[in-house]
Amino acid sequence: MSNPKHDKGEHYLTTPKAEPFLERLIFNNRAIILVLLTILTLFLGYNAVKIQPDASFERMIPLEHPYIVNMLDHRDDLENLGNFVRIAVESKDGDIFSQEYMETLKQITDEVFYLNGVDRSGLKSLWTSNVRWVEVTEQGFQGGTVIPDDYDGSRESLEQLRQNVLRSNEVGRLISDNFKSTIVYAPLYESDPETGEPLDYGTFSRQLEEKIREKYEAQNPNIDIHIVGFAKKVGDLIEGIGSIAWFAGITIALTTLLLFWYSRSVSGTLVPVFTSIIAVFWQLGALRLLGYGLDPYSVLVPFLVFAIGISHGVQIVNAMAVEAAKGFDAITAARLAFRALYIPGMLALISDAFGFLTLFFIEIDVIRDLAVAAGIGVAFVIITNLVLHVLIMSYIGISKGGVRHVQNHGEKQDRKWRLLSNFSHPGVAPISLLIAVIGLGLGLYYKQDLKVGDLDQGAPELRKDSRYNKDNAYIIDNYSTSADVMVVMVKTPVEQCTQYSVLRAMDSLQWELANTPGVQSTASLADVSKIVTKALNEGNWNWYAISRNQTIINASIRNAPSGLINTDCSLTPLLVFLEDHKAETLRTVVDVVEEFAQANSNEEHTFLLAAGNAGVEAATNEVISKAKDMMLIFVYGVVSLLCFLTFRSIRAVLCIVVPLGLTSILCEAIMAVSGIGIKVATLPVIALGVGIGVDYGIYIYSKLEKYLLEGKTLQDAYFETLRSTGKAVVFTGVTLGIGVVTWIFSPIKFQADMGFLLFFMFLWNMIGAIWLLPALARFLLRPDRMLEKAKAAK
């Protein structure tokens, strides 16, 4: 005996106008499509498991910024490009002048020399021949290597070593101010010289730990080793990626439990989780085929792809449960759910994808990689959610427990939704808008303090108590020259870099920088000339100046240290050692140098910014600062355009986009109050939050419009919207928020920051769609006109 509801559904489904082409294509070829998708899953899954962590110094910097262009143009003339490691070997008891310490330092220097990726010609240590001492005697200049040629570890040779160290000008640089540690400085190649492949920072960092730190601390219990540098920081981040697997498991487990509590259906729980995981495997497999790896910043994108898949999967489960409760069988319920959701679902997902792709306009490869990864992931979610998920459910259907749950909780839930529908009431809507305006004002006030760049010392991507930041703090406390170096390049015609006018201008800039907050010290060829000129005149301080006599200048810089002058004397660097690389420090120093360069550059000499790790940070901050507003304009422009093309109404666009705008402003205010700067790690969160948040508004508005066009009043239409779609939106916002809030316990600080910010954006975008959208609809929508237009269109 046939089910009348089923018959009615079949008649409705076979009406040509009601049955979209996509629906016929998908459901009339279910078995073939599932086989093809299974083959695709096996192929991409095989590639997904082979994807490797990837990080590159050049991919994390804005290669098109003038500072970076200058730096790379003069790569061969500069020793300090920002990609190096500094290994401080500390003596716990006593000082460095002991046979045991020096023997350990020698072994460490040799070990570092043979590490793959180290530029051996630039390696510096007390044991390398490029670390020398120089003094002026009655017979003229004398000098030699800091380690005496006849060094044998005896008391006499150690005393000679002490004298050489004091004469070397390396105290505060390679040798700590208190003589309790020395540094092994190792510049790095961008590519492994043996393989030609990009340097694997994860492997390099593990070698530093196993072959240097662990080995020699165990060998000599009186030794502590501290390691800093870009490669070590990235290596520690890659190491932290391992912990992300735990958070992935926790997120999936929590989502599964909450989804079962929501649907009370095994199939309604496992299928959306399964298809969302499939989307992640497709994404990772495609990225590997395209030549991408997972760097420390884009490794979180699979989380977001999973979250987006769950977000849309819940809508499918919810719609099918409602149809199944009416008596429809699995395939009919699946077709009705597809028909109701494929337009808003595709609109939301396409908005997500284009929103993420706007990150591609930021001229930093690591952010562009993130944009590509997120865009590909969302594109796959369109298939896994609207095709794979629906087809699997058309065979399995909603379990009886899920159907009973919908049928038994209808009236109880109706009371809750009836209460929430008052957000669209004429008396409540103005209050909601007033609260939103107050929130907007507070957000605009607090976001004024939002900074671009790092706000903490050391590596803000890692916790303050991380091993790396403790090592960095040790070096800052014990050395005069910090790890944060900005290099100003002074360019001249060939053989003119030692002219009086050039050195005098450099000396003037150094004087200005010495009086600039945040600058620890400076060093340049001008310093060498003044020191040697004084030494040549019996150490008389009256001669501590740059001589106007070119012959004296030439004599004074004859033995200048390597790195302060290039081979054809057309470029000399001015090193600026900073107290930190905080955004405010970098901005202050850059402003001083740029103002000086504009006033003092001429045909004889030009001041160019900037090399060194601080120069790279300054360039990155400028790119992010300029790109942030443009990125938001593109994100909102794309989302608004797609919404307009779908709903053909500016009022509809405002209802969807205004809550998103309020969320973005409040998010920036929270970042300012929480001390989180806008940087490579956090900038994408703003775009990702908008891209994911628009889904809520699109689903709510599409249902609201449908009921308004049926002739219902706004409050009744919103009540029906909440009953059908609102509960899925609320559940999704809460579930995704709970899933990402676990990230705040991650050892990687920027993952914790992203978790905190995404938790806020997931929840607040959901609240905006449920609370603010209907209030805006009360003032912007005109149901009578919408109904007239719909009748006229028919």
Query: pLDDT digits over 631-672, tens only?
Result: 888 888 888 888 888 888 898 899 999 998 898 899 889 988
Most confident range (mean pLDDT) of 27-31, 35-39, 613-617 is 35-39
pLDDT in tens, 359-404: 777 888 888 888 888 889 888 998 998 899 999 999 988 888 777 7
Strand pairing category for 223-229 and 84-91: antiparallel
Q: Which of 550-554, 601-605, 782-786 has the lowest mean pLDDT?
A: 782-786
Q: How far apart are CA 312 and CA 307, in angstroms?
A: 9
| Residue 223 CB partners (closer than 8 Å, separation 6+) | 89, 90, 91, 92, 101, 104, 216, 217
Full DSSP string of 225-274: EEEEEHHHHHHHHHHHHHHHHHHHHHHHHHHHHHHHHHH--HHHHHHHHH
397: left (phi over 0), alpha (psi -120 to 50) or beta: left
pLDDT at 2: 39
What pLDDT sits at residue 39?
Answer: 95
Has residue 53 got a pLDDT over 50?
yes
Q: What is the DSSP letter of 300?
A: G
> pLDDT higher for 161 or 195?
161
The mean pLDDT value for 22-44 works out to: 91
* pLDDT for the residue numbered 280: 92
pLDDT for 3 beyond 60: no
Euclidean distance between CA atoms 365 and 632, whole angstroms:
19
CA 238, CA 235: separation in Å to the nearest integer?
Answer: 5
Task: Provide the pLDDT for residue 507.
Answer: 92
The C-alpha atoms of residue 248 and residue 301 are separated, in whole angstroms, by 11
pLDDT confidence of residue 17: 44
Query: Is the peptide bond prior to 610 cis by the omega test (within 30 degrees of 0)?
Result: yes
Select the more confidently predicted residue: 59 or 775.
775
pLDDT at 264 (0 to 100): 81
Among 549, 530, 550, 552, residue whose Cα is nearest residue 541: 530
Averaged pLDDT for residues 584-602: 90
* pLDDT at residue number 255: 83
- What's residue 119's pLDDT? 87
pLDDT of amino acid 791: 59
- Where is pLDDT greater, at 786 or 257? 257
Crossing angle of helices 429-446 and 773-780, rounded to 10°: 120
pLDDT at 14 over 50: no
**Any idea which of 249-253, 656-660, 669-673, 714-718 has the lowest mean pLDDT?**
249-253
Confidence at residue 141, expressed as pLDDT on a 0 to 100 scale: 65
pLDDT digit string, tens, across residues 405-420: 776 665 556 788 888 8
What does the pLDDT look like over 198-235, one tens digit per residue? 788 888 999 999 999 999 999 999 999 999 988 888 88
For the cut 90, the answer to whether the pLDDT of residue 8 exceeds it is no
- What percentage of residues in the chain have a pLDDT greater than 70? 92
Q: Per-residue confidence at 34, pLDDT binned at 50, 70, 90?
A: very high
Instruction: Give the Cα separation of 357 and 374 in Å (integer).
Output: 8
597-638 residue pLDDT tens: 998 888 888 899 888 888 888 888 888 888 888 888 888 888
Is residue 126 helix, strand or coil?
coil
What pLDDT is recorded for position 125?
A: 92
367-377: buried (b, 16+ CB within 10 Å) or exposed (e) per residue? bbbbbbbbbbb
Least confident of 111-125, 407-421, 707-721: 407-421
Q: Is the pLDDT score of 441 beyond 90?
A: yes
Least confident of 483-487, 497-501, 593-597, 700-704: 483-487
Cα 346 from Cα 595, distance rounded (Å): 51
Categorize the per-residue pLDDT at 790 as very low, low, confident or very high, splitting at 50, 70 and 90. low
CA distance 168 to 125: 12
Is it the case that residue 90 has pLDDT exceeding 90? yes
Q: Which residue do the tokens 């990626």 mark?
A: 241
pLDDT at 736 over 50: yes
The bridge status of strand 223-229 relative to strand 519-523 is: unpaired
Q: What is the pTM of this model?
A: 0.77
By mean pLDDT, which of 7-21, 433-447, 473-487, 512-526 is the weakest? 7-21
How high is the pLDDT of residue 794?
A: 54
High-pLDDT (> 90) share of the chain, %: 23
